[in-house]
Amino acid sequence: MVFTLYALPAIRPVNHIVDDGEMVILTHEGAALTAQAQQAGAEGVVVAYEADGIDHCTRLGWSVVATGYCHLVTDPQDVARYRSLIHPWLISNV
């Protein structure tokens, strides 16, 4: 995920799903993107997202780039549902 932080591009790896045409990412309360989205309010934060897959044997792959506005999900039922659907690829022991 790419967004602007202190007038510079910031890039963060994120986990995502696509749900009913909406891209949903997993973040946490202390994340820079979360803070930016909270400050932006209803307007949202302009972001860019890139995902790809490459087969190293065949050297074939795909890439998708999307741009749009990032908004916080605040409905408790939606938050619980998305948390159950998004499986982090990074597991922390902390």
Q: What is the pLDDT of residue 77?
A: 95
Q: What is the pLDDT of residue 81?
A: 93
Report the distance separating Cα 57 and Cα 37, nearest Å. Answer: 40
Q: What is the pLDDT of residue 92?
A: 55
Beta bridge partners of 68: 47
**pLDDT by residue (tens digit) across 10-42?**
998 888 899 998 999 988 888 889 889 888 888
Of 41, 39, 48, 46, nearest to 69 by C-alpha is: 46
Structure tokens belonging to residue 93? 């022991």
Number of domains forming the structure of the chain: 1
Structure tokens belonging to residue 42? 């209803």
* pLDDT confidence bin for 54, thresholds 50/70/90: very high
Range of the domain at 65: 2-85
Q: What is the pLDDT of residue 90?
A: 60
Structure tokens belonging to residue 79? 């938050």
Residue 93 lies in a domain: no
pTM, full prediction:
0.75
Would you say 45 and 32 are in contact if contact means Cβ atoms under 8 Å apart? no
